[in-house]
Amino acid sequence: MAKITLRGNPVNTFGELPAKGTAAPGFKLVKTDLGELTLTELKGKKVILNISPSLDTGICATALRKFNQLAAAMDNTVVLAITKDLPFAHGRFCTTEGITNVTTLSGFRDSAFGKAYGVEIVDGGFTGLYARSIVVINEKGTVKYTELVPEIAQEPDYDRALAAL
């Protein structure tokens, strides 16, 4: 169980992020067209998992916009924005914001992702949502970088995540 805060109040997650150097846990998440995407489908690409509670919060939206801008210049790299928001909300947000370089995915169908990556929040006002975090996975499926943002209302360290690519 990891400890973070939400506006200074202690919050716990289900577990810990995957360790650097280990195989990234597989996942099956829902795309905006209600189809599914698995980590296996991304083998051979660098993957940035931008995990957050909801696109409907200011910091989550800011991080998605920032990664959308940064992703445009990255070769062989996929950025995934993962929340528990419904795919319809993802589609609406991306259309409104002009997000074209990030794939949004939802974990609303099952809780396997949040548990496998240790990011499911287990207490407080955001119970059941994901903690703000970054996981960078290389082309072979190995975890190269992780960041569990200590305060949910803070942005992740974009530079360190990109440096891990």
Closest-CA residue to 89 (of 51, 133, 50, 32): 32
The Cα–Cα gap between 50 and 104 comes to 9
Q: What is the pLDDT of residues 36-69, one digit of tens each?
A: 999 999 999 999 999 999 988 888 888 888 888 8
Q: What is the pLDDT of residues 132-141, one digit of tens each?
A: 999 999 999 9
The pTM for the full model equals 0.94
Q: Which helix (H) or strand (E) holds 122?
A: none
Spans of the chain below 50 pLDDT: none
In this structure, are residues 69 and 35 in contact, taking their beta carbons and an 8 Å threshold?
Answer: no
Residues labelled catalytic: 60
Does CATH number 3.10.20.30 belong to domain 3-163?
Answer: no
